[in-house]
Amino acid sequence: MLARWYDQLAGVVRQTRPVTFSRRSLPLWMIALIVFGVLTILGITIGLLVHFLVVESRIYYYSGSFKVLNITYNKNYEKETSPENNHLSKILETKMSDAFEASNIYRQYINSQVIKLVPENNNVIAHIWLMFKAPRAMKRNTKSKIENILYQMLRKNSDFITTDPKSLTLMEISKVAAEKIINTLCGRRARTSATYDKVKGGSSAQEGEWPWQASLKKNGKHYCGASLISERYLVTAAHCFKMTKNPKNYTVSFGTRVSPPYMLHYVQEIIIHENYFYGKHRNDIAIIKLTEKVSFKNDVHRVCLPEATQIFPPGDGVVVTGWGALSYNGEYPVLLQKAPLGIIATNICNAKEAYNGLVEDEMLCAGYLEGNIDACQGDSGGPLVHPNNRNIWYLAGIVSWGLECGKPNKPGVYMRVTSYRSWIASKTGI
């Protein structure tokens, strides 16, 4: 069957094709098709290459340093939460962002920060961290432009500070290295996401938005909030240990989902304020020491502790976060909730129709006198945070008490962290 078919086919071929093969040119349509095909492939290749190299932007990170001259030596510059450090860093950050925003690469500029100040004789070395986006083909060009802009910026001396342009160093660093730098600092976020800047009356948090927030679990069940203040320590409320203070009963987890627990840690020691008495609100603060260090990542790292002298003025915006009830006696969320609040002056909070003198100096009221937005049951021990003028987040309060949740004239009451700053230092060395 197969052989016959082959014979027939061979006959057809013999009939239609001359015995001698003369080189006949291909039909026109076929040439056109081939040319078209080749051109298409070429076009797509060039298009992709152009897109990849010129159109599509990548994010580049840089770290560098420069010298600030004539700064009277003060050890406090080294301390990341000191007013001296913050003041000088803010001036330098404003100088940098002004320079980049006025430059011809303002569209590539994303972020610039001072990450460390190192005093040296009568000078300070400022370590900087930069984030830019640029097409691959412009990578080298972008770096030299950045260097140039910084150099020009350092040449111009403002009223208060003199900077040395010759001291400028700049190098590209990997994304991993760049994020690691941010994650070891307190109160910062590795991603500067637009979705960020925005409990009862709250909304779900984004991943990595509140990386210091922890869930304190009793026998595996969420019980209280807590805030990570170093690799080994957290702060929380003392009343969270009312039932038992055996560390073996507690675990700590992170992330935005309360269950299943993410980055589960065990507790080595619970340090309750020695002048806290169950049933009373005074000194409602405790320290948790973990059995092992937490490895910092984008979505898990520490909040800044304010200095004892730092002031959080009434009216300032703060944020409370937690997995507490969505309303009094209401349901509990799976995703971390955030609620923007305002700081309320203690004398207003102590008014007759409010807490009638129950709020002490070591406490801080935050929320709204009209009610609605508030922390609630299960938020206790969690953070009330305040962003400073550089958008670095400080722990201003610890969720402690309130009459029910979100009631008019009954805002949340928090432990004032500044009042316990030296107590925290005495227990943790931080």
396's enclosing H/E stretch is strand 393-401
- Smallest distance from ligand ARG to CB 365, Å: 10
Site string for ligand ARG, 363-402 (x = CB under 6 A): -----------xxxxxxx------------------x-xx
Q: Which is nearer to ligand ARG, 227 or 377 (CB)?
A: 377
Q: Which is nearer to ligand ARG, 114 or 288 (CB)?
A: 288
283 binds ligand ARG (CB under 6 A): no
At a CB cut-off of 8 Å and minimum separation 6, what does 234 contact? 214, 216, 226, 227, 228, 252, 287, 288, 290
- Smallest distance from ligand ARG to CB 366, Å: 9
What are the tokens at 258? Answer: 């309360």
Question: Phi/psi at 288 (nearest 5 deg)?
Answer: -115, 125
- The CA–CA distances, whole Å, from 104 to 38, 109, 134, 146, 173 equal 39, 10, 13, 10, 23
Task: Compute the distance between CA of residue 29 and CA of residue 360 in angstroms, rounded to an integer.
Answer: 92
Task: Compute the distance between CA of residue 412 and CA of residue 372 in angstroms, rounded to an integer.
Answer: 11
CA 121 from chain centre, in angstroms, equals: 34
Q: Which is nearer to ligand ARG, 257 or 407 (CB)?
A: 407
Task: Compute the distance between CA of residue 288 and CA of residue 283 in angstroms, rounded to an integer.
Answer: 15
284 binds ligand ARG (CB under 6 A): no
Q: Are 129 and 173 in contact (CB under 8 A)?
A: no
Q: Where are the alpha helices (DSSP H) in 208-324?
A: none
Task: Compute the distance between CA of residue 26 and CA of residue 34 in angstroms, rounded to an integer.
Answer: 11
Q: Minimal CB distance to ligand ARG: which residue?
A: 402
- The CA–CA distances, whole Å, from 138 to 3, 55, 60, 222 equal 65, 10, 11, 50
Q: Which is nearer to ligand ARG, 205 or 398 (CB)?
A: 398
Check residue 278 and report its DSSP letter. T
Instruction: Give me the helix-helix angle, 83-101 and 139-155, nearest 10°.
Output: 120
Pick from 405, 415, 417, 424 the residue near ligand ARG by CB under 6 A.
405
Number of residues that bind ligand ARG (CB under 6 A): 13
- Smallest distance from ligand ARG to CB 377, Å: 5
Instruction: Give the strands of the sheet with 57-69, arranged side by side.
Output: 109-120, 123-135, 57-69, 162-173
Binding positions for ligand ARG, 298-337, rule CB under 6 A: 324
- Smallest distance from ligand ARG to CB 85, Å: 33
Q: Which is nearer to ligand ARG, 310 or 400 (CB)?
A: 400
Q: Are strands 221-228 and 262-272 parallel, antiparallel or unpaired?
A: unpaired
Q: Which is nearer to ligand ARG, 226 or 229 (CB)?
A: 226
Active site residues: 239, 284, 380
Q: Which is nearer to ligand ARG, 213 or 380 (CB)?
A: 380
- Smallest distance from ligand ARG to CB 51, Å: 52
- Smallest distance from ligand ARG to CB 383, Å: 13
Residues that bind ligand ARG (CB under 6 A): 324, 374-380, 399, 401-402, 405, 412
